Amino acid sequence: MRAQRASKPRPYDILFAHGLSRVDPERIHHAAFRAIRGAAPLTSRAVRMPSAPVHALGLTFPHPLGLAAGFDKNAVGIDGLAALGFGHVEVGTVTGEPQPGNPRPRLFRLTADGAIVNRMGFNNDGAEVVARRLAAWRTSGRSTILGVNIGKTKVVPEEEAVRDYEKSAGLLAPHADYLVVNVSSPNTPGLRDLQAVEKLEPLLAAVRRRADEVRPDHRVPLLVKIAPDLSDDDVLAVADLATATGLDGIIATNTTISRDGLATRAADVDAVGAGGLSGRPLTSRSEDVVRLLRERVGPDLTLVGVGGITTVDDARHRLAAGADLLQAYTAFVYEGPLWPRRVVRGLVAGA
C-alpha cells in the first residue's frame, strides 16, 4: 500500500474534518472557488513553483500537474487556479447549449475512501457564453496553458451529437491551447456509447475538421477522454484509433460507475446513488489504463494521467506508467489549496 497522508494532521485536514465536510459539497465548492478567484492577485505573487518543463502537444508546460475538467466548468477562475500552482487548467465540460445539469443534491463525499461521487450532468453556461468569456480572458495576455473540454448537450439526441460537438469546437477552439472531446461522463444518458470506435471515429474527425476551419493558421491539439470502465480490449481499440487518425492525445481516465472495494458502508454508498466516482479508488485502474495505452501507442502520443492521484508517489507512479502530464481534482478538494505545490515540489525533488 502506498502512504496516503502525512502522519501529522495539517491545518487544512482539521478544517476539512471539523468544518468543510459537514457542509453540502456543492455549496462549499462555490464558496471555495469564490475565495480562490478573490485571492488570485495575492497567490500569484506568493507562489513560486519549481521548474520541471514538459514538452507535449507542441506546448511547453511548466510542470506535469494540471487541474482536471469539472472544477471550473465556465472558465471563470483560470487565473486563480493557476496561481495556486497548477501548470495547466482544463475548463469545462462545456456543451453546445447551456444547461442546468441534474437536480440537487448531485455531489457527495465518501470521506472514508478519499472519493467523490458526482452526477452534475454537465451544468454549464454553454459554448457561446464560455467562448465570449475566453475571448476576453485571452485579450488580457494571460499565459496559463488552457485546455477546453467539450461534451454533448443532454437534450440533443445521439444522432445529432456530431453537430453538437462541432458547434462547441467551432466556438471554443479559437481560444484553446488544446481541445478535449469528452465521451466518458456517466451522467449524460448515452454519452459513453460514443466511446465505441465506430461512433468515436466520425465524431473525432468532425471535431478535427471544425477546429481546423476556425484556426486555419494553427492546429489545435485534439484529445479524447475515456472512462476507466472500458475493457482492456476497448482501451486498446481507442489507442489504435488514436494512432490511425492522428489524434494528439488521450486523457485517462474519467470517473467510474464501479463501487467495488470501497471502505464506505454499503448502505451509505447506496444512499448516495448514481454518479461517477473519483478519487483514490481509481488509482490502480487509471494507472493500468495509462500503462496499456503507452504500451500500445508507443512514445509519441501524449497521455494525460488522471484519476486517484493524491500523493507524490501516486504522481511518480503515473508518470512511470507512461503519462506525460497529470491532472487531478478530487485530491485538490481533500488536500487543500497548498496541495498542487506540494506535489510539484515533491516531483522535482525526486527527479
- Is 149 annotated in some ligand binding site? yes
- Are 175 and 148 within 8 A, CB to CB? yes
- Is 19 annotated in some ligand binding site? no
Phi/psi at 312 (5° precision): -60, -40
- Is 72 annotated in some ligand binding site? yes
**Is 231 in the active site?**
no
- Is 120 annotated in some ligand binding site? yes
- Is 225 annotated in some ligand binding site? yes
- Is 144 annotated in some ligand binding site? no
- Is 111 annotated in some ligand binding site? no
- Is 165 annotated in some ligand binding site? no
- Is 71 annotated in some ligand binding site? yes
- Is 61 annotated in some ligand binding site? no
- Is 346 annotated in some ligand binding site? no
- Is 329 annotated in some ligand binding site? yes
- Is 102 annotated in some ligand binding site? no
- Is 283 annotated in some ligand binding site? no
* Candidate list 168, 184, 185, 278, residue with the active-site label: 185
Q: Which residues are catalytic?
A: 185
Can you say which residues are annotated as belonging to the binding site for FMN? 69-73, 93, 149, 182, 225, 253, 279, 308, 329-330
Residue numbers belonging to the annotated binding site: 69-73, 93, 118-122, 149, 182, 187, 225, 253-255, 279, 308, 329-330
Binding-site residue ranges for substrate: 73, 118-122, 182, 187, 254-255
